[in-house]
Structure formats: C-alpha cells, structure tokens
Structure 1
C-alpha cells in the first residue's frame, strides 16, 4: 500500500461545482460578444472543405436544435471535445475513422484513420459491500440521516448532504506495477446500501433485474433491507484490457456501440484480486475491528472467498 488520503471534492457552499459553474457562468455576461453558448443542441457532423492545396480542412459544424439544422462556419478551427465516447462517434459520423467501418455505415470517407474509436481503456470499479454491526449511528448516509439532515443542508448547505459521498481513498501498487505510481485504488463511500435506494436507482444505474431480484431474495432470507453499511470500491487505475467504440448506424441520434472488454486481459483480473487482498488487510486493522467491518461478498453472489492466482 502506498498510502491513504481524504478525497478531494469540488464543492462550494454545499453544492458540487462543475466546469461550467466555475469558469463559464462568471464570465458569460462580460463576454457576450465573443462567447456564444447554444443549449439543447446536438452536433450532427463536422463540415470539411477542400482548400487550394486540395487538402480537406474542418470549416464548421452542423448541429440540430429543436429539430432545426444549423450550419456554423469556423473562422480558425473546430475543437472536438465530446469525451471518450462522443468525440470518436462524431469523427466517424463526419467521415474520419476506419475505412471499412465507415463503408459499412455508408458514410463518405474524409480520412482513413484506423485508430479512431480504438484503444478504449475504461476503469473497472467493483463495489464491495461492507457489513459493520458496530458502526456509530449517523456515520453512514442512510434514509434516516437523509431525512434529519435535509433542513441543515437547506439552511446552511452543510452536513452529510453537503458533499458528494466519497470520503477517502487508498492507493496501492500490485505485483504487476512497473513504476512507482499506483495501479490499485480503493474508494470509501459512506452510503448505506439498502433495497430502497437500489430499486430507486435501478434505471439510472442500469441494474439488471436478475441482480435486483437476487439482492431482494437475500434480504428476505436474512430478514434485512440493508445490503451493506457502507461501500468500498476496488478499482483498476491502469487497465490492460482494451475495448473499442463503433457506430451503430449513420444516424447521429443512435447510441454508439461501446465494447469495453472489461477484464479480458488476465492481468486486470489478477490486479483486482490483489485489490481484494488489500481490503483483507484493512479488515485486520484496529479501526475496522472496532466497528466490526467485514466484506460481505455473498451479497453480490460471488462467494465469500476470492481465489488468488499466485
């Protein structure tokens, strides 16, 4: 283990701060002539034009707002900042990407770039339920704490509701680490995991119905609605598994095909297991013993023990 620290949070007056609220809203009024922000707009395509040297350059974009297409010309350049999913999708819709894939989608080719949409490396985080019978009342954010803290938050912006729910992290290096930087991250989330919030967030977090049914059955068998008192996420910081993003069709409204290939590389599996071994060491520490904190892996139907490959 390298060490631990309190989680850094971007919060101001009890509210989570975004890039927009931090850097845009404060200057919008004084820069109206130079900064134009269009809301409810979806960019459909980057426009390319051929110059005198016969080289194609991005000259603008076409976006759709309220079912109306608008073409905007760029004086200097077009900056694509749609994220790890949106950027490659927009590039391929505009004709930049693997030639064969664009041909399959019926999209005219602007540039044959095989790397567009490739080398997707998404971080895997496994939520680990922690059962803690001796936990002090009020530490975990459960339904009772949410109710009693509502007025504190509304009046002063403080209390349990005035932060994002991520408390601390532990960083570690696995046996596969080739540098001094960590490749294991354990994140503490002080939120009680109950059937009520699982069912409430089933659609938002895309829980499978069989998963929800299994947790409900376990709760009935143990006569409890609490799955865990708090969570610790075991995560990969440097995944070796490589995925890809492809277009589902030439329609910009269709979600792209996202194939992360999670844990397809055995190295990632072994590092995840070492993350669980690190959690086992935390179970043996004095603070964990005082509150009786232990991993409850059976809640996820993955058994009580994880076999180590070493």
Structure 2
C-alpha cells in the first residue's frame, strides 16, 4: 500500500491551492487525487464556448431533484471533473465578496475566518493586471484579466446603472460596495488558466514530495477506529487503498465531499444506517445547510435599428477558428459586466446584477423579427438566500450520483426579495442610456408583484455556487461538521477544505473564497504539524 503524509481528495480550486502550498514544505509528502484527468487544451479554454465541454467526461453532470417551488423543474449542476475542478468549465469570475461576508463566518463560530484574514490572503493570492493597490494583489499566483467585449453596448449597460442612480463605476473589491464594472476572470489574453494551472505549474509538479494521481475515484475514507488512515480508490488498477500517515483532507466540493463523508460512515446516523453502511460518527450536519445563488432575469428588446447585441455562433467553424487563432465568435462571453444593489438602508448588497449585451428573443413572441434585434439581459442574483437544502446518498454505491435538493425558493422571503430586485433592474433598463435597446421589457415594469413572482419561479436558474454542506462552527453547535481548524468533529486525521465548509454563501462568486480556504488550510495544517 502506498502511504503519504497527507492525502488531498479533489484537485479543484481549494485542493489545488492546498496541495501546492503544503508541498512547499519538503518534510510533508503530499498526494493529490483527482477523479478526472488533466485538463486538455480544448474549446473549454475559450471565453465564449467553454460550455460545449459540459457534455464530456470533464463534467460530473449533476442535477437537482424536482424542485416544487420552481414549478417542478430539475436544475442542471455542471461540476468540474478534471485537474482544476470546476475552474475548467466555469465562467472563471473572480468576485470575492465583501469582508462582511467573512466576518459572518467568524460570527457563526468559524474562529479566525474573517474579513481581514480573507483580504490579506487575497492580496497574496492575486496577480491582477489592474496593478498593485490596497484592494487587489498584483504579484500573486492567480493570474486574471478583465473580460473583453466586442460591443460598446457592454459599456452602455454599466452607464445605465450610474444613470439610474444606483451607484458609480468602480472596483467590486473597493470600499464602496455599490459599483458597476467589467469583472476579472481566469481568462488571460482570452485563454482560460485554471486554478490548477496557476498553483500546480511545472515547477510545483517537479517537487519530489508532491504526487498527482488522476483517474482515481475515491469511494470512501478508511478508518481504524475513529482515526482516518487513508482512502479507498478505484482506478485502472482496480480497487485499492492508499494510506495517510497524518491525515486525509477532502476538497471534493459541496456535493462530493458530503457524499464521501456519508459513504465513509460520517454523517446522519439514520440515513447512513438505512443504506446498510456502518456509522463511524453521527454528524447530523453532513449534507445539510446547502445554499446556492439563484438569479432571475429582466430581458429587453430594442428598436428595429438598435445595434450592439452579438449573436452567438458556436458552430464547428467558430470553434476551429478559436482553436487556431483565439479570436472570432467563440472569443466572447456576453455576460461580462457586474453591478451591485441593495434594498433601502442596507449597507451591503442584497443583489448582484450580471449584465449581458444579448437578450432572449423567445421572451418576445409578439415580434417576428425578435431574433434579429438587439437587447440586453439583467440577471438579478439573490445574494443571501434564506432557503436551505441538502445532499443525500441515493444508495451505498459510491458511483451513484447523490440526491441534490437545494429547496430553491422554499422560503417565501426569497421570492419577495427577488421581486424587489427585479424592480431595481427595471430602473436600470428604463434609463435613457438604454432607451434604444429597451423598447420592450419583459417582465413588464407594470407587472404586479404576483406576476413577477410567477416569472421568478419559471425563470430562475442557478449561478452554480453550492456551499455549506459540511459547514464550520463552534464546539457547541450540534450541526457544525468541522471546527475552525477544518477538522471533522468526532474523528481524528480528517479535515475538509472546500466550499462545503462555508457557513454562509458570500456576496460574490465562490471560486475565490474556495481558493482562500485551500490556501489558508495549508497554513493551519503546517502549523499543527510543527506543534506536534
């Protein structure tokens, strides 16, 4: 049996950062395990056509169970199954949230996880092309650029935010939370660099104390008594066990991490026993507290002579052109602007607006030429949802997909808040700046609250930010899964370091805080090793 000091499960945003940082110390022998393969140089590296890879084995291709508050709809949840995790197939947006979001983690019992700690880490992690400042790092590891755009309409949408009196142009990381900007992403000069590309470059991979094992599906954590001593995997060599002298760290994400925990006997006793599995420790919080960002949309259609929307072309010719030249229709992602807004009197945002220079012509069936007209789309993201869901095992089969039930919009307050958000978006599209691109608006600004609520339930989709299913908390919190040192309660030698430990979802996108969690986890583990 191969034995390593530390076994990290999952080479996504958190796991790649964690393994790379741990391997900086020659006295720690690290194994990083990934179920998928290395991320190829394919169309998934493009800004505009990356989602064409969602139908490949690079995607876990998860989906929710039927959602009763979304008219029974099933919501697709693509998750990355490759070195780089979901940073191989996401939008790549580096929107790290507000310091207050991390202060809320500490208030929830995650001691030491606060706004100052997060900002300090981000300034070390980031390599922004915007230059060094008090709010963005310049000499770090993760390289990022602003998204490019082929149309001035992108700028007009940002101007409409200002014109509507909602805020000013600025930096989302700045002291003023109410700004509009073109956000930064992992696409460097138009080509995706994943978090693994940044943290696990050739020099890091050359370290003698770091091993990366791909194509290995972790089926469970192996325990001796209540101590984790390794993991069981299945790969081309069959089923085998890999040992961990010091500890196992799960960085498999908000769906896979609770699945592995429960398959290993760590989780709600009744649920584990009903599937015929042995219980190592009864932890009712495993798989609970699932949170995610949803967004509903306001669509506009311009006058017949309005220009600016850029119709997507993802045919074979466009794909081949991008692969050869990195330009053409597959080069651009239309949702390339972001802005922030709140309900009256709130000091931090309640809504993120994702701004697209394209519209959805199917929303305007009364216009036969709708598909030839320009328009914009405002995606209204509910940043602090109250609805909570769960992840459960479908069976004891480690290859069966988990049962994912976010319980979207199960809290009526979420619907009511989104209605208010659509009203604010209506103010934006009614701005004189967008007059030519908003001759018609759907749903109409004249719609009643009830009509907007019906639109929301039929229209909302996920922003792909699941978190919270193995959350941090204090010792007296019966539903906390890990402590502030990321140690799983009730067992030894097992930690979790990924988005599942977030007590609450941030007011931003979850890639950046996932990197922060992996980055800081390495410091915590190293400190514990030095003290032992």
Q: TM-score range by the shorter chain?
A: 0.7 to 0.9
Q: Find the partner of 2:348 among 165, 181, 186.
A: 181
Following TM superposition, by how much is the alpha carbon of 1:27 offset from its aligned partner in structure 2, in angstroms?
3.0
* TM-score with structure 1 setting the length: 0.77
Q: 1:4 maps to which residue?
A: 180
Deviations 1:30-71 (A, max 9, x none): 22x222212222110011113xxxxx1111111111371121
Aligned length in residues: 274
Q: Find the partner of 2:265 among 79, 89, 95.
A: 95
Q: Find the partner of 2:214 among 27, 33, 39.
A: 39
Q: Matched residues in 1 for 2:203 and 2:305: separation?
A: 46
Deviations 1:63-122 (A, max 9, x none): 111371121101211110111111111101110001111111111000100110111111
Structure 2 gap ranges (5+): 1-165, 167-177, 453-532
Following TM superposition, by how much is the alpha carbon of 1:279 offset from its aligned partner in structure 2, in angstroms?
1.1
Q: Matched residues in 1 for 2:243 and 2:320: separation?
A: 50
In the TM superposition, what are the counterparts of 1:283-294 in structure 2 within 5 Å?
283-292=429-438, 294=440
Three-state SS of the structure 2 residue aligned to 1:44 is strand
Q: 2:336 maps to which residue?
A: 167
Q: 2:449 maps to which residue?
A: 307
Q: 1:142 maps to which residue?
A: 311
Q: Find the partner of 1:259 among 377, 386, 405.
A: 405
8 Å contact from structure 1 (residues 184, 271) kept in 2? no
Q: 2:425 maps to which residue?
A: 279
Following TM superposition, by how much is the alpha carbon of 1:160 offset from its aligned partner in structure 2, in angstroms?
5.7
Q: 1:27 maps to which residue?
A: 203
Q: Given the superposition, is the C-alpha separation of residues 48 and 103 from structure 1 closer, same or farther in structure 2, using an over 3 Å criterion? A: same
Q: Given the superposition, is the C-alpha separation of residues 47 and 141 from structure 1 closer, same or farther in structure 2, using an over 3 Å criterion? A: farther
8 Å contact from structure 1 (residues 16, 164) kept in 2? no
Q: Matched residues in 2 for 1:192 and 1:109: separation?
A: 51
Following TM superposition, by how much is the alpha carbon of 1:13 offset from its aligned partner in structure 2, in angstroms?
2.7
Following TM superposition, by how much is the alpha carbon of 1:28 offset from its aligned partner in structure 2, in angstroms?
4.8
Three-state SS of the structure 2 residue aligned to 1:75 is strand
Q: Matched residues in 2 for 1:174 and 1:291: separation?
A: 26
Q: Given the superposition, is the C-alpha separation of residues 263 and 164 from structure 1 closer, same or farther in structure 2, using an over 3 Å criterion? A: same
Q: Matched residues in 2 for 1:241 and 1:285: separation?
A: 32
Following TM superposition, by how much is the alpha carbon of 1:133 offset from its aligned partner in structure 2, in angstroms?
2.9
8 Å contact from structure 1 (residues 141, 192) kept in 2? no
Q: 85-94 or 128-137: which moved more? A: 128-137
8 Å contact from structure 1 (residues 146, 161) kept in 2? no
Following TM superposition, by how much is the alpha carbon of 1:129 offset from its aligned partner in structure 2, in angstroms?
2.7
Following TM superposition, by how much is the alpha carbon of 1:306 offset from its aligned partner in structure 2, in angstroms?
4.0
Following TM superposition, by how much is the alpha carbon of 1:278 offset from its aligned partner in structure 2, in angstroms?
0.7
Q: Given the superposition, is the C-alpha separation of residues 270 and 192 from structure 1 closer, same or farther in structure 2, using an over 3 Å criterion? A: closer
Q: 7-16 or 106-115: which moved more? A: 7-16
Q: Does 2:379 correspond to 1:233?
A: yes
Q: 59-68 or 142-151: which moved more? A: 142-151
Deviations 1:120-156 (A, max 9, x none): 111111233322236754x323146989977875565
CA RMSD of aligned residues (A): 3.1
Q: Matched residues in 1 for 2:202 and 2:310: separation?
A: 33
Q: Given the superposition, is the C-alpha separation of residues 59 and 92 from structure 1 closer, same or farther in structure 2, using an over 3 Å criterion? A: same
8 Å contact from structure 1 (residues 283, 294) kept in 2? no
* TM-score with structure 2 setting the length: 0.47
Q: Matched residues in 2 for 1:234 and 1:99: separation?
A: 39
Deviations 1:198-241 (A, max 9, x none): xxxxxxxxxxxxxxxxx7xx75x643473984422111111111
Following TM superposition, by how much is the alpha carbon of 1:258 offset from its aligned partner in structure 2, in angstroms?
0.9
8 Å contact from structure 1 (residues 192, 230) kept in 2? yes
Q: Given the superposition, is the C-alpha separation of residues 29 and 259 from structure 1 closer, same or farther in structure 2, using an over 3 Å criterion? A: closer
Q: Given the superposition, is the C-alpha separation of residues 35 and 111 from structure 1 closer, same or farther in structure 2, using an over 3 Å criterion? A: same
8 Å contact from structure 1 (residues 190, 230) kept in 2? yes
